[in-house]
A and B are shown apart, each in its own frame.
Chain A
Amino acid sequence: MTVLDLDSRILQRRKLWRRINRSTGIHLGGGLLALIAAIALLAPLLAPHDPIAQDLTRRLLPPFWQAGSDPAHWLGTDNLGRDYLSRLIFGARVSLGIGLGVTLCAGLIGTMLGLLAGYFGGKTDMLISFIITTRLSLPIVLVALAAVALGGASLQTLAIVLSLLLWDRFAVVVRSATQGLRNREFVQATVSFGASSLHVMLRGILPNLRNTLIVVATLEVANVILLEAALSFLGLGARPPTPSWGLMIAEGREHILFDPWLIALPGSALCLLILAVNLLGDGVRDALDATSS
């Protein structure tokens, strides 16, 4: 690598930082996400009550903006008398935990498949592309539901099933990026030194996919969180009494006529989290696109 190359790289990195500092999406999304992550991490300290402790004498207390609210239960209680604020706070743990965990596992599977297909090409590529096409053809919600229902509904089953299903976007993106990098001079040079295929893939190609992977992972986290909520809502995800936002919406559904705030609160929390993740992802993608072109 020449001095000039190094210079231009440093320049590019500065340009990227300047873009990031100017992007409202990254600031807004990143700030909101950091806040929600902090709430999730500090949940035991922040929550005023135990999120699963029932108190049947204090069922369906209204939130603070309605008459008859109890200052001890700022956002009211659900139909089993559990403190709603505490459940919302602990719900952030479920959403973020599943979102990050599943994205990590699915990312590993997808990246590996994409690297193999893009690097070796030929028959390997044909086989892996075929697997990707097959996976894309499956109705994702239905297959996930079926697998969770048959495997026994729980958050663990849900996480495993989603990890095994949601690697497609990683595989597609990594495959085409690897195809582009495979014939570049620095990769060919490593090959000509006699480096093993594994070494070339992991040390030569993978580091160059970092930006792409960050963008895909961010968008995938939002996707996973939405799917977890939808599956829990359908009763095939988190089990009661787990404070999952999707499950809370399902539980509040019976009271939709008189207490619609029961579904409005967890739904709004979900929207805010997804919005934060998407704003951050879009912002990072735009910043990276603008600096690389």
Chain B
Amino acid sequence: MLPFLARRLIVAALVALAVSMVAFGLMFVAGDPAVVLAGQAGRAQDVEMIRQAYGLDRPLPVQFLGWIGRALTGNFGTSLYFNLPVATIIGERLPVTLMLGSVAFLLAILVSVPLGIAASLKPGGLLDRAALLLAVLGQAIPSFWLGLILIVVFGVWWGLVPISGTESWQGYILPVIVLSYYAMPALMRLTRAGMIEVLGADYIRTARAKGLARLRILMVHALRNAVLPLVSLAAVQFGMMLSGSIVIESVFAINGLGRLAWESLLRSDLPVVQAIILILSLIYVTLTTAADLVNAWLDPRLRSA
């Protein structure tokens, strides 16, 4: 287990480094960042001043090391729009997004895993078809549109929930539903496929022949093996939900990280955008690495891979 752990952690560290290079490099996609920072009204001497003030005249590797070094100590620079430390602004918004993502993720798991198991018991049966329909629709409906439609129906027509904002907890109901429905199809399908495969295995037949209780076979013998690919997918899905909440947050006017990223992009507040990309990527790397380690713990065969 130890060599596997070490190897996996080294890869994760390298990926994190590569990801931070991309986040840093984005600043240069638009050309000279000093010109971008100076804005359209910037004169030549303004650009030169900004270049010196932000250290943009130094060689790129030096700039990168400086940026990543400060980022490691939690200093992401100053927001050009708020004129506040980026870390402070993100510290206010990150918990909102994490909360939204976690609750939605929990709901997605609580619905899709039991549904996938139930569907796998009788492939082609009524329940299986209903679950499949739910999954097919979930993959076809754009989440931002579903959000708007739910706002119209439940907020405007029926007045059951506030139509935007999160002053009360009711404001979170619709965003959580939309975000979790976005993750459900993949989780449900994988649970169903894994269970169908496992339920056909010899050791399940043996367990049945021994006369074990049906529920025990299902929950202990089958689910434990079917859940392996699910752990990896769950990590990927959670990362995707954090990234996908950028759309949901702008639909429901939630002051989270996603909305901050979007608004910062529209006002060219690059330090904030870079920091958010870096943080979301690092969360993703941590999650997938953790999933790999959990899988290796569950299934010793994976440790040599």
Contacts and interface: CB of A to CB of B under 8 A. Distances in A.
A35 interface: no
A236 B273 CA distance: 15
A263 interface: yes
Given A151-B29, A270-B145, A271-B142, A142 B280 contact: yes
Nearest to B157: A260
A2 to B, nearest CB: 34
A66 interface: no
Contacts of A246: 142
A146 B265 contact: yes
A147 B29 contact: yes
Contacts of B281: 137-139
A124 B244 CA distance: 32
State the main secondary structure of chain B at its contact with A: helix
Given A134-B22, A234-B262, A235-B266, A142 B142 contact: no
Interface stretch (A12-20, A49-57, A273-281): A273-281
Contact of A139 (B15, B139, B277, B288): B277
Interface in A265-293: 267, 270-271, 274-275, 278-279, 282
A123 B29 CA distance: 29
Contacts of A45: none
A236 B14 CA distance: 31
Nearest to A143: B277
B280 A139 contact: yes
A66 to B, nearest CB: 15
A263 B284 contact: no
Contacts of B280: 139, 142
Interface stretch (B83-91, B147-155, B173-181): B147-155
Q: Categorize the interface residue count of chain A.
A: 35 or more
A143 B142 contact: no
A288 to B, nearest CB: 16
Interface string B221-260: 0000000000000001001101110110010000000100
A201 B137 CA distance: 38
A257 B265 CA distance: 28
B172 interface: no
B285 interface: yes
Given A149-B266, A233-B247, A130 B142 contact: no
A278 B136 contact: yes
A253 B252 CA distance: 12
A263 B148 contact: yes
Interface string A121-165: 000000000100110111111110111011100000000000000
A226 interface: yes
Contacts of B268: 149
A222 B276 CA distance: 27
Contacts of A143: 22, 26, 277
A246 B30 CA distance: 25
Given A133-B15, A134-B22, A150-B29, A145 B265 contact: yes
B26 A146 contact: yes
Contacts of A270: 142, 145
Given A137-B288, A138-B281, A150-B29, A267 B145 contact: yes
A249 interface: yes
A266 to B, nearest CB: 8
A271 B141 contact: yes
Contacts of B5: none
Contacts of A263: 145, 148-149, 152
B212 to A, nearest CB: 30
Nearest to B22: A138
A88 to B, nearest CB: 14
A139 B247 contact: no
A70 to B, nearest CB: 24
A264 interface: yes
A69 B166 CA distance: 38
Contacts of A130: 11, 14-15, 18
27 contacts: A130-B15, A134-B15, A134-B19, A134-B22, A136-B288, A137-B16, A137-B281, A139-B277, A139-B281, A139-B284, A143-B22, A146-B273, A149-B266, A222-B139, A229-B145, A230-B143, A234-B246, A236-B265, A246-B142, A249-B144, A253-B148, A257-B156, A260-B152, A263-B149, A267-B142, A274-B141, A282-B136
